[in-house]
Structure 1
Amino acid sequence: MSGESGTVKDINLFQTILATTDNVKIIIPNGEAIDGVISNYSGYTQRRCDITFGIDYDDDMDKAISIIRGVIEADERALKDPEPFVKVTNLGDSSVDITTRTWCEASDLWNMKFDLIKKVKEALDAGGISIPYPHTTLVKKEAANDDAAA
Protein backbone atom coordinates (compact mmCIF):
# COMPACT_ATOMS: atom_id res chain seq x y z
CA MET A 1 0.00 0.00 0.00
CA SER A 2 1.43 3.37 -0.98
CA GLY A 3 4.86 1.79 -1.41
CA GLU A 4 4.88 0.66 2.23
CA SER A 5 5.00 -2.89 3.55
CA GLY A 6 4.25 -4.39 6.92
CA THR A 7 1.74 -6.29 9.00
CA VAL A 8 -1.76 -4.84 9.13
CA LYS A 9 -2.47 -3.98 12.77
CA ASP A 10 -5.78 -2.13 12.38
CA ILE A 11 -8.26 -1.06 9.73
CA ASN A 12 -10.85 1.56 10.56
CA LEU A 13 -13.14 3.85 8.60
CA PHE A 14 -10.44 6.37 7.66
CA GLN A 15 -7.07 4.63 7.80
CA THR A 16 -5.11 1.40 7.80
CA ILE A 17 -2.29 0.98 10.30
CA LEU A 18 0.74 -1.16 9.46
CA ALA A 19 3.74 -2.22 11.52
CA THR A 20 6.95 -2.60 9.51
CA THR A 21 9.44 -5.40 10.19
CA ASP A 22 11.49 -2.98 12.31
CA ASN A 23 8.35 -1.93 14.24
CA VAL A 24 7.68 1.45 12.63
CA LYS A 25 4.00 2.42 12.69
CA ILE A 26 2.72 3.39 9.23
CA ILE A 27 -0.66 5.12 8.92
CA ILE A 28 -2.16 5.04 5.43
CA PRO A 29 -5.37 6.90 4.57
CA ASN A 30 -7.85 4.39 3.17
CA GLY A 31 -8.43 6.68 0.19
CA GLU A 32 -4.93 5.76 -1.02
CA ALA A 33 -5.71 2.05 -0.76
CA ILE A 34 -8.87 2.20 -2.86
CA ASP A 35 -7.08 2.62 -6.21
CA GLY A 36 -3.79 0.97 -5.22
CA VAL A 37 -2.42 -2.53 -5.58
CA ILE A 38 -2.04 -4.51 -2.37
CA SER A 39 0.43 -7.41 -2.14
CA ASN A 40 -0.39 -9.87 0.64
CA TYR A 41 2.78 -11.81 1.48
CA SER A 42 1.06 -13.89 4.14
CA GLY A 43 -2.01 -14.76 2.07
CA TYR A 44 -0.69 -18.23 1.25
CA THR A 45 0.90 -20.81 3.51
CA GLN A 46 3.84 -21.45 1.16
CA ARG A 47 6.33 -19.07 -0.45
CA ARG A 48 9.15 -19.41 -2.96
CA CYS A 49 12.67 -18.55 -1.84
CA ASP A 50 14.74 -17.18 -4.74
CA ILE A 51 18.52 -16.85 -4.37
CA THR A 52 21.17 -16.24 -7.05
CA PHE A 53 24.80 -17.25 -6.56
CA GLY A 54 27.58 -16.11 -8.88
CA ILE A 55 30.50 -18.45 -9.55
CA ASP A 56 33.77 -17.84 -11.36
CA TYR A 57 33.84 -18.47 -15.11
CA ASP A 58 36.69 -20.96 -14.60
CA ASP A 59 34.70 -23.11 -12.14
CA ASP A 60 32.77 -26.29 -12.97
CA MET A 61 29.11 -25.29 -13.33
CA ASP A 62 27.76 -28.83 -12.88
CA LYS A 63 29.79 -29.29 -9.69
CA ALA A 64 28.50 -25.97 -8.32
CA ILE A 65 24.90 -26.91 -9.16
CA SER A 66 25.37 -30.27 -7.42
CA ILE A 67 26.80 -28.61 -4.30
CA ILE A 68 24.01 -26.03 -4.15
CA ARG A 69 21.30 -28.66 -4.72
CA GLY A 70 22.81 -30.81 -1.94
CA VAL A 71 22.66 -27.94 0.55
CA ILE A 72 19.04 -27.22 -0.34
CA GLU A 73 18.00 -30.87 -0.14
CA ALA A 74 19.65 -31.18 3.29
CA ASP A 75 17.50 -28.35 4.67
CA GLU A 76 14.33 -29.84 6.15
CA ARG A 77 12.42 -26.58 5.56
CA ALA A 78 12.83 -26.90 1.77
CA LEU A 79 9.78 -28.58 0.29
CA LYS A 80 10.36 -31.57 -1.97
CA ASP A 81 7.33 -30.74 -4.14
CA PRO A 82 7.71 -28.77 -6.23
CA GLU A 83 11.30 -29.85 -6.69
CA PRO A 84 13.86 -27.09 -6.08
CA PHE A 85 15.01 -25.29 -9.24
CA VAL A 86 18.81 -24.92 -9.52
CA LYS A 87 19.95 -23.71 -12.96
CA VAL A 88 22.47 -21.46 -14.68
CA THR A 89 20.42 -18.36 -15.48
CA ASN A 90 22.86 -15.69 -16.60
CA LEU A 91 26.37 -15.05 -17.86
CA GLY A 92 27.15 -11.85 -15.99
CA ASP A 93 30.02 -9.40 -16.27
CA SER A 94 31.99 -11.09 -13.49
CA SER A 95 30.25 -14.39 -12.82
CA VAL A 96 28.15 -17.28 -14.07
CA ASP A 97 24.87 -16.91 -12.17
CA ILE A 98 23.10 -19.92 -10.70
CA THR A 99 19.56 -19.23 -9.50
CA THR A 100 17.70 -21.33 -6.96
CA ARG A 101 13.94 -21.36 -6.47
CA THR A 102 12.93 -23.36 -3.44
CA TRP A 103 9.46 -23.60 -1.91
CA CYS A 104 8.95 -23.54 1.85
CA GLU A 105 6.36 -22.71 4.46
CA ALA A 106 5.81 -18.95 4.52
CA SER A 107 6.86 -18.77 8.16
CA ASP A 108 10.25 -20.34 7.28
CA LEU A 109 11.09 -18.09 4.30
CA TRP A 110 13.52 -15.56 5.75
CA ASN A 111 15.38 -17.84 8.15
CA MET A 112 15.73 -20.49 5.45
CA LYS A 113 16.97 -17.92 2.93
CA PHE A 114 19.61 -16.50 5.27
CA ASP A 115 20.73 -19.99 6.33
CA LEU A 116 20.96 -21.23 2.73
CA ILE A 117 23.08 -18.26 1.68
CA LYS A 118 25.57 -18.99 4.47
CA LYS A 119 25.57 -22.77 4.02
CA VAL A 120 25.91 -22.58 0.22
CA LYS A 121 28.84 -20.15 0.54
CA GLU A 122 30.57 -22.50 2.99
CA ALA A 123 29.87 -25.55 0.79
CA LEU A 124 31.11 -23.81 -2.37
CA ASP A 125 34.28 -22.75 -0.53
CA ALA A 126 34.83 -26.33 0.67
CA GLY A 127 34.26 -27.60 -2.87
CA GLY A 128 36.80 -25.22 -4.40
CA ILE A 129 34.17 -23.10 -6.16
CA SER A 130 34.85 -19.35 -6.12
CA ILE A 131 32.31 -16.57 -5.72
CA PRO A 132 34.01 -13.72 -7.59
CA TYR A 133 33.68 -10.06 -6.79
CA PRO A 134 32.79 -7.69 -9.63
CA HIS A 135 35.85 -6.54 -11.53
CA THR A 136 36.61 -4.49 -14.60
CA THR A 137 39.57 -4.72 -16.95
CA LEU A 138 40.83 -1.37 -18.23
CA VAL A 139 42.76 -1.12 -21.47
CA LYS A 140 44.87 1.98 -22.02
CA LYS A 141 45.46 2.93 -25.61
CA GLU A 142 48.61 4.87 -26.31
CA ALA A 143 47.99 8.11 -28.15
CA ALA A 144 49.66 8.40 -31.54
CA ASN A 145 52.75 10.58 -31.27
CA ASP A 146 53.05 12.89 -34.27
CA ASP A 147 56.78 13.51 -33.60
CA ALA A 148 57.59 9.80 -33.66
CA ALA A 149 55.91 9.36 -37.02
CA ALA A 150 58.08 12.03 -38.65
Structure 2
Amino acid sequence: MEEFFASLDINQYLPAALAWATNILLALVILIVGIWVAGKAYKGIVAIANHYPQLDDTLFKFFGSVARYTVLAFVGIAVLNRFGVQTASIIALLGAAGLAVGLALQGTLSNLAAGVMLLIFRPYKVNDFVDAAGKFGKVTEIDMFTTILQTFDNQHIIIPNSQIWGEQIINHSHHKQRGVDMHFGIAYNENIEEAKAVINKVLADHPHVLKEPVPFVEVETLNDSSVDFLVRPFCNGEHYFDVLYSVPEQVKKALDDANIEIPFPHRKVIVVNEDS
Protein backbone atom coordinates (compact mmCIF):
# COMPACT_ATOMS: atom_id res chain seq x y z
CA MET A 1 0.00 0.00 0.00
CA GLU A 2 2.80 2.40 0.85
CA GLU A 3 4.41 1.63 -2.49
CA PHE A 4 1.05 2.47 -4.22
CA PHE A 5 0.78 5.92 -2.63
CA ALA A 6 4.48 6.51 -3.22
CA SER A 7 3.98 5.76 -6.90
CA LEU A 8 1.29 8.47 -7.21
CA ASP A 9 2.54 11.74 -8.59
CA ILE A 10 0.76 14.41 -6.53
CA ASN A 11 1.93 17.13 -8.90
CA GLN A 12 -0.02 15.38 -11.66
CA TYR A 13 -3.42 16.10 -10.01
CA LEU A 14 -2.59 19.40 -8.33
CA PRO A 15 -3.37 21.68 -11.32
CA ALA A 16 -6.77 20.04 -11.87
CA ALA A 17 -7.59 20.31 -8.17
CA LEU A 18 -6.55 23.96 -8.13
CA ALA A 19 -8.61 24.63 -11.25
CA TRP A 20 -11.71 23.07 -9.69
CA ALA A 21 -11.17 24.91 -6.42
CA THR A 22 -10.77 28.17 -8.33
CA ASN A 23 -13.93 27.54 -10.34
CA ILE A 24 -15.90 26.70 -7.21
CA LEU A 25 -14.63 29.83 -5.48
CA LEU A 26 -15.42 32.03 -8.47
CA ALA A 27 -18.83 30.41 -8.86
CA LEU A 28 -19.61 31.19 -5.22
CA VAL A 29 -18.45 34.79 -5.69
CA ILE A 30 -20.58 35.15 -8.85
CA LEU A 31 -23.56 33.62 -7.07
CA ILE A 32 -23.26 35.84 -4.00
CA VAL A 33 -22.69 39.01 -6.03
CA GLY A 34 -25.49 38.07 -8.44
CA ILE A 35 -28.00 37.51 -5.65
CA TRP A 36 -26.97 40.85 -4.10
CA VAL A 37 -27.35 42.66 -7.45
CA ALA A 38 -30.74 40.99 -8.06
CA GLY A 39 -31.97 42.13 -4.66
CA LYS A 40 -30.72 45.66 -5.27
CA ALA A 41 -32.40 45.75 -8.68
CA TYR A 42 -35.73 44.70 -7.15
CA LYS A 43 -35.53 47.20 -4.29
CA GLY A 44 -34.39 50.01 -6.60
CA ILE A 45 -37.34 49.57 -8.97
CA VAL A 46 -39.86 49.27 -6.13
CA ALA A 47 -38.35 52.38 -4.52
CA ILE A 48 -39.32 54.39 -7.62
CA ALA A 49 -43.01 53.71 -6.91
CA ASN A 50 -42.54 54.48 -3.22
CA HIS A 51 -40.87 57.80 -4.09
CA TYR A 52 -43.70 58.91 -6.41
CA PRO A 53 -47.16 58.34 -4.86
CA GLN A 54 -48.90 58.69 -8.23
CA LEU A 55 -47.19 55.52 -9.49
CA ASP A 56 -48.77 52.13 -8.80
CA ASP A 57 -46.61 49.96 -6.53
CA THR A 58 -48.16 46.72 -7.84
CA LEU A 59 -46.79 47.39 -11.32
CA PHE A 60 -43.33 48.30 -10.07
CA LYS A 61 -43.19 45.23 -7.84
CA PHE A 62 -43.88 43.18 -10.95
CA PHE A 63 -41.15 45.00 -12.90
CA GLY A 64 -38.81 44.52 -9.93
CA SER A 65 -39.49 40.78 -9.89
CA VAL A 66 -38.83 40.58 -13.65
CA ALA A 67 -35.52 42.40 -13.19
CA ARG A 68 -34.51 40.18 -10.24
CA TYR A 69 -35.21 36.90 -12.03
CA THR A 70 -33.52 38.16 -15.20
CA VAL A 71 -30.34 38.90 -13.22
CA LEU A 72 -30.56 35.50 -11.50
CA ALA A 73 -30.93 33.78 -14.88
CA PHE A 74 -27.70 35.38 -16.13
CA VAL A 75 -26.02 34.48 -12.84
CA GLY A 76 -27.01 30.84 -13.30
CA ILE A 77 -25.60 30.84 -16.83
CA ALA A 78 -22.34 32.42 -15.63
CA VAL A 79 -21.99 29.81 -12.85
CA LEU A 80 -22.50 26.95 -15.30
CA ASN A 81 -19.91 28.48 -17.64
CA ARG A 82 -17.33 28.37 -14.84
CA PHE A 83 -17.64 24.58 -14.83
CA GLY A 84 -17.37 24.26 -18.59
CA VAL A 85 -21.03 23.57 -19.25
CA GLN A 86 -22.06 24.60 -22.76
CA THR A 87 -24.92 26.97 -22.07
CA ALA A 88 -25.84 27.73 -25.69
CA SER A 89 -27.98 24.61 -25.92
CA ILE A 90 -29.53 25.34 -22.53
CA ILE A 91 -30.45 28.89 -23.64
CA ALA A 92 -31.97 27.52 -26.87
CA LEU A 93 -33.92 24.94 -24.86
CA LEU A 94 -35.19 27.60 -22.46
CA GLY A 95 -36.20 29.78 -25.39
CA ALA A 96 -38.16 26.94 -26.97
CA ALA A 97 -39.78 26.12 -23.63
CA GLY A 98 -40.67 29.77 -23.14
CA LEU A 99 -42.29 29.90 -26.57
CA ALA A 100 -44.31 26.75 -25.85
CA VAL A 101 -45.42 28.09 -22.49
CA GLY A 102 -46.31 31.44 -24.07
CA LEU A 103 -48.49 29.78 -26.69
CA ALA A 104 -50.18 27.66 -24.03
CA LEU A 105 -50.85 30.69 -21.84
CA GLN A 106 -52.04 33.19 -24.45
CA GLY A 107 -55.14 34.08 -22.42
CA THR A 108 -53.11 34.54 -19.25
CA LEU A 109 -50.52 36.65 -21.05
CA SER A 110 -53.24 38.83 -22.57
CA ASN A 111 -54.57 39.41 -19.05
CA LEU A 112 -51.03 40.27 -17.93
CA ALA A 113 -50.56 42.74 -20.79
CA ALA A 114 -53.94 44.32 -20.06
CA GLY A 115 -53.06 44.52 -16.36
CA VAL A 116 -49.82 46.34 -17.17
CA MET A 117 -51.72 48.85 -19.32
CA LEU A 118 -54.38 49.38 -16.62
CA LEU A 119 -51.73 49.98 -13.98
CA ILE A 120 -49.77 52.37 -16.23
CA PHE A 121 -52.68 54.49 -17.48
CA ARG A 122 -54.84 53.99 -14.37
CA PRO A 123 -58.35 54.62 -15.75
CA TYR A 124 -59.55 53.68 -12.27
CA LYS A 125 -58.08 52.95 -8.85
CA VAL A 126 -59.03 51.11 -5.69
CA ASN A 127 -62.27 52.41 -4.09
CA ASP A 128 -63.55 53.89 -7.38
CA PHE A 129 -67.05 52.96 -8.56
CA VAL A 130 -66.84 51.74 -12.16
CA ASP A 131 -68.84 50.19 -14.96
CA ALA A 132 -66.51 47.67 -16.63
CA ALA A 133 -67.08 44.47 -18.64
CA GLY A 134 -70.81 44.83 -18.05
CA LYS A 135 -70.42 44.90 -14.27
CA PHE A 136 -70.84 47.75 -11.80
CA GLY A 137 -69.26 47.99 -8.37
CA LYS A 138 -66.51 49.36 -6.17
CA VAL A 139 -62.96 48.39 -7.10
CA THR A 140 -61.43 46.54 -4.16
CA GLU A 141 -58.26 45.21 -5.80
CA ILE A 142 -56.27 45.54 -9.02
CA ASP A 143 -53.52 43.03 -9.76
CA MET A 144 -51.60 41.98 -12.85
CA PHE A 145 -54.27 39.55 -14.08
CA THR A 146 -57.65 40.53 -12.62
CA THR A 147 -59.73 43.39 -11.25
CA ILE A 148 -61.99 42.64 -8.28
CA LEU A 149 -65.27 44.49 -7.75
CA GLN A 150 -67.63 44.57 -4.77
CA THR A 151 -71.27 45.16 -5.72
CA PHE A 152 -73.94 46.88 -3.65
CA ASP A 153 -75.48 43.54 -2.78
CA ASN A 154 -72.03 42.43 -1.55
CA GLN A 155 -71.04 40.18 -4.43
CA HIS A 156 -67.36 39.52 -5.04
CA ILE A 157 -66.75 39.78 -8.80
CA ILE A 158 -63.38 38.85 -10.34
CA ILE A 159 -62.95 40.17 -13.90
CA PRO A 160 -60.00 39.21 -16.13
CA ASN A 161 -58.17 42.37 -17.15
CA SER A 162 -58.32 41.46 -20.85
CA GLN A 163 -62.13 41.81 -20.68
CA ILE A 164 -61.77 45.36 -19.35
CA TRP A 165 -58.90 46.84 -21.36
CA GLY A 166 -59.99 47.90 -24.83
CA GLU A 167 -63.67 48.13 -23.84
CA GLN A 168 -65.67 51.06 -22.49
CA ILE A 169 -64.85 51.92 -18.88
CA ILE A 170 -67.08 54.33 -16.95
CA ASN A 171 -65.41 55.65 -13.82
CA HIS A 172 -68.15 57.18 -11.67
CA SER A 173 -65.60 58.39 -9.11
CA HIS A 174 -63.22 60.22 -11.46
CA HIS A 175 -64.70 63.69 -10.83
CA LYS A 176 -65.30 64.96 -7.33
CA GLN A 177 -68.75 66.33 -8.19
CA ARG A 178 -71.48 64.43 -10.03
CA GLY A 179 -74.67 65.46 -11.75
CA VAL A 180 -77.64 63.23 -10.92
CA ASP A 181 -80.12 63.02 -13.80
CA MET A 182 -83.75 62.24 -13.03
CA HIS A 183 -87.10 62.87 -14.73
CA PHE A 184 -90.50 63.98 -13.37
CA GLY A 185 -93.77 64.56 -15.19
CA ILE A 186 -96.76 66.78 -14.42
CA ALA A 187 -100.15 67.02 -16.07
CA TYR A 188 -100.72 69.49 -18.91
CA ASN A 189 -103.19 71.50 -16.89
CA GLU A 190 -100.69 72.20 -14.11
CA ASN A 191 -98.60 75.36 -13.79
CA ILE A 192 -95.02 74.72 -14.93
CA GLU A 193 -93.49 77.50 -12.82
CA GLU A 194 -95.19 76.25 -9.66
CA ALA A 195 -93.92 72.72 -10.31
CA LYS A 196 -90.38 74.02 -10.88
CA ALA A 197 -90.56 75.97 -7.63
CA VAL A 198 -91.64 72.86 -5.71
CA ILE A 199 -88.83 70.77 -7.19
CA ASN A 200 -86.24 73.50 -6.55
CA LYS A 201 -87.42 73.76 -2.93
CA VAL A 202 -86.85 70.01 -2.46
CA LEU A 203 -83.35 70.28 -3.91
CA ALA A 204 -82.51 73.35 -1.82
CA ASP A 205 -83.51 71.54 1.38
CA HIS A 206 -81.61 68.34 0.59
CA PRO A 207 -78.43 68.09 2.72
CA HIS A 208 -76.31 66.52 -0.04
CA VAL A 209 -77.34 68.68 -3.02
CA LEU A 210 -74.75 71.37 -3.76
CA LYS A 211 -75.68 75.01 -4.12
CA GLU A 212 -72.98 75.40 -6.78
CA PRO A 213 -73.30 74.33 -9.54
CA VAL A 214 -76.93 75.39 -9.46
CA PRO A 215 -79.36 72.46 -9.97
CA PHE A 216 -80.80 72.24 -13.49
CA VAL A 217 -84.61 72.02 -13.61
CA GLU A 218 -86.18 72.54 -17.04
CA VAL A 219 -88.89 71.09 -19.27
CA GLU A 220 -87.35 68.41 -21.47
CA THR A 221 -90.21 66.70 -23.29
CA LEU A 222 -93.86 67.22 -24.08
CA ASN A 223 -95.16 63.68 -23.91
CA ASP A 224 -98.60 62.39 -24.86
CA SER A 225 -100.02 62.78 -21.35
CA SER A 226 -97.41 64.74 -19.38
CA VAL A 227 -94.96 67.60 -19.36
CA ASP A 228 -91.62 66.03 -18.40
CA PHE A 229 -88.87 67.83 -16.49
CA LEU A 230 -85.20 67.02 -16.62
CA VAL A 231 -83.86 67.55 -13.09
CA ARG A 232 -80.09 67.48 -12.52
CA PRO A 233 -78.84 68.34 -9.04
CA PHE A 234 -75.11 68.17 -8.30
CA CYS A 235 -73.48 66.47 -5.34
CA ASN A 236 -70.14 65.12 -4.18
CA GLY A 237 -69.37 61.72 -5.61
CA GLU A 238 -69.80 59.84 -2.34
CA HIS A 239 -73.40 61.12 -2.06
CA TYR A 240 -74.47 60.22 -5.60
CA PHE A 241 -76.66 57.28 -4.70
CA ASP A 242 -78.10 59.03 -1.63
CA VAL A 243 -79.37 61.80 -3.90
CA LEU A 244 -80.47 59.44 -6.68
CA TYR A 245 -82.67 57.33 -4.42
CA SER A 246 -83.96 59.96 -1.97
CA VAL A 247 -84.93 62.93 -4.17
CA PRO A 248 -87.67 61.17 -6.23
CA GLU A 249 -89.62 60.24 -3.09
CA GLN A 250 -89.27 63.75 -1.70
CA VAL A 251 -90.38 65.32 -5.00
CA LYS A 252 -93.41 63.02 -5.16
CA LYS A 253 -94.50 64.01 -1.65
CA ALA A 254 -93.88 67.72 -2.33
CA LEU A 255 -95.93 67.67 -5.56
CA ASP A 256 -98.74 65.88 -3.76
CA ASP A 257 -98.69 68.47 -0.97
CA ALA A 258 -98.87 71.23 -3.59
CA ASN A 259 -101.82 69.45 -5.31
CA ILE A 260 -99.85 69.18 -8.54
CA GLU A 261 -101.00 66.16 -10.51
CA ILE A 262 -98.50 63.56 -11.58
CA PRO A 263 -100.14 61.83 -14.56
CA PHE A 264 -100.06 58.14 -15.26
CA PRO A 265 -101.15 56.22 -18.37
CA HIS A 266 -104.91 55.80 -18.77
CA ARG A 267 -106.79 53.38 -20.95
CA LYS A 268 -110.25 54.32 -22.12
CA VAL A 269 -112.53 51.36 -22.80
CA ILE A 270 -115.68 51.88 -24.89
CA VAL A 271 -118.30 49.19 -24.52
CA VAL A 272 -120.71 48.92 -27.44
CA ASN A 273 -124.09 47.42 -26.71
CA GLU A 274 -125.19 45.63 -29.89
CA ASP A 275 -128.75 45.22 -28.65
CA SER A 276 -129.40 48.91 -28.58
Q: TM-score, normalised by structure 2?
A: 0.48
Q: 2:216 aligns with which of 58, 69, 85?
A: 85
Name whichever structure is richer in helix by fraction: 2
Higher relative contact order structure (alpha carbons within 8 Å, sequence separation ≥ 6): 1
Aligned to 1:146: none
Aligned to 1:95: 226
Q: What letter is aligned with 1:42?
A: S
Matched residue SS, 1:99: strand
1:111 maps onto 2:249 in alignment: no
Q: 2:174 aligns with which of 43, 62, 65?
A: 43
- Residue 61 of structure 1: how far off its partner (Å): 1.1
1:73 maps onto 2:204 in alignment: yes
Q: What letter is aligned with 2:230?
A: T
Aligned to 1:121: 252
Inter-partner Cα distance in structure 1 for 2:253 and 2:241: 19
Aligned to 1:26: 157
Q: Which runs of 5+ in 2 are unaligned?
A: 1-131, 272-276
1:58 maps onto 2:58 in alignment: no
Q: TM-score, normalised by structure 1?
A: 0.85
- C-alpha RMSD of matched pairs (Å): 1.8
Conserved? CA contact 1:93–1:134, under 8 Å: no
Bigger radius of gyration among the two: 2
Query: Which deviations, in whole Å up to 9, do the C-alpha atoms of 1:11-66 show, x marking residues without a partner?
Result: 22221111111111111111112211211111222111111111111111111111
Q: What letter is aligned with 2:252?
A: K
Name whichever structure is richer in strand by fraction: 1
Over the matched positions of the two proteins, sequence identity in percent amounts to 39
Aligned to 1:130: 261
- Residue 135 of structure 1: how far off its partner (Å): 2.5
Matched residue SS, 1:72: helix
Inter-partner Cα distance in structure 2 for 1:2 and 1:23: 18
